[in-house]
Amino acid sequence: MISVLRGEKPVSIPWFVDLIYWYETEKIKGSLPDKYRGLEGYRRLCENLGCGTYGGLISFPGDVKYAGNVVIRHFEEESTEAKLKRTVYETPIGSLTSLERFSKVSYSWRTVKYPIETEKDFKVYQYIIRNVEVKPNYSLQEEQIKTMGEWGAVSSLPPRIPFARLLIEVCGISNLYGMLLRMREYVEETIQLMENLDDQFYEIILDSPTPLVCFGDNISSELVSPPIFKKYYMPYYKKRFSQLHSKGMYGYIHIDGALRGVLPLVDETGADCVESVTPAPVGDVTLEMLRKLAGERIALWGGVPGAYLSVAYPDDSLKILFYSIIEMLPELGRFILGSADQLPPNGDPQRVKWISEELKKIERK
Q: Both 192 and 101 in a single domain?
A: no
Classify residue 98: in a domain, yes or no.
yes
Query: What span, in angstroms and rounded, lies between the C-alpha atoms of 192 and 203?
Result: 18
Q: Is 199 left (phi over 0), alpha (psi -120 to 50) or beta?
A: alpha
Order the strands of the 94-103 sheet from edge to edge. 71-78, 83-91, 94-103, 108-113
Residue at which a domain ends, from 83, 116, 149: 116
Query: Does some domain include residue 125?
Result: no
Average pLDDT of every residue of the chain? 97
150 and 20 in a common domain = yes
CATH of the domain at 172: 3.20.20.210
**123 is a domain residue:** no
Residues 77 and 175 in one domain: no
Do 156 and 237 belong to one domain?
Answer: yes
Q: Which of 116, 148, 179 is the last residue of a domain?
A: 116
Residues 107 and 196 in one domain: no
Statement: residue 319 has pLDDT above 80? yes
How does residue 86 score in pLDDT terms, banded at 50, 70 and 90? very high
Assigned domain for 122 exists: no
Whether the Cβ atoms of residue 114 and residue 138 lie closer than 8 Å to each other: no
pLDDT of residue 104: 87
Residues 60 and 82 in one domain: no
Answer yes or no: do 75 and 32 share one domain: no
Render pLDDT for 188-220 as a digit per residue (tens, 0 to 9).
999 999 999 999 999 999 999 999 999 999 999
Higher-pLDDT residue of 80 and 167 is: 167
Whether 166 and 112 map to the same domain: the answer is no
Average pLDDT over residues 157-165: 98
Q: What is the pLDDT of residue 217?
A: 98
Over residues 222-242, the mean pLDDT reads 98
| Phi, psi (deg, nearest 5) at residue 54 | -140, -20
Report the pLDDT value the prediction gives residue 76, as an integer from 0 to 100.
Answer: 95
In this prediction, residues 29-45 reach a mean pLDDT of: 98
Mean pLDDT of 42-52: 98
- SS3 state at 206: coil
Residue ending a domain, among 116, 145, 176, is: 116
Query: Residue 80: what pLDDT?
Result: 80
Nearest C-alpha neighbor of 224 from the set 183, 146, 166: 166
Q: Find the domain containing 104 and state its range.
A: 68-116
Does residue 354 share a domain with residue 241? yes
For the segment 114-123, what is each residue's pLDDT rounded down to a tens digit? Answer: 999 999 999 9
Please check whether residue 293 is in contact with residue 303, taking contact to mean a CB–CB distance below 8 angstroms: no
- Whether 121 maps to a domain, the answer reads no
Q: Is residue 273 part of a domain?
A: yes
Of all residues in the chain, the percent with pLDDT exceeding 70 is: 100
Residue 364's pLDDT is 84
Shortest CA distance to 18 belongs to which of 39, 42, 36?
42
Q: Is the pLDDT of residue 365 over 80?
A: no
Q: Give the distance, in angstroms, between the CA of residue 265 and the centroid of all CA atoms in the same chain.
A: 19
Shared domain for 222 and 341, answered yes or no, is yes
Pair (257, 340) in one structural domain: yes
Residue 216 within any structural domain of the chain: yes
For the cut 90, the answer to whether the pLDDT of residue 81 exceeds it is no
Instruction: With H, G, I as helix, E, B as strand and everything else as coil, classify residue 300.
Output: strand
10 lies in a domain?
yes
Paired sense of beta strands 250-254 and 108-113, if any: unpaired
State the pLDDT at residue 195.
98
Q: Are residues 342 and 250 in the same domain?
A: yes
For residue range 178-189, what is the model confidence (pLDDT) as tens digits? Answer: 999 999 999 999
The count of structural domains within the chain is 2
Give start and end residues of each alpha helix (H) in 131-283. 139-148, 162-165, 173-182, 184-205, 226-228, 234-246, 263-266
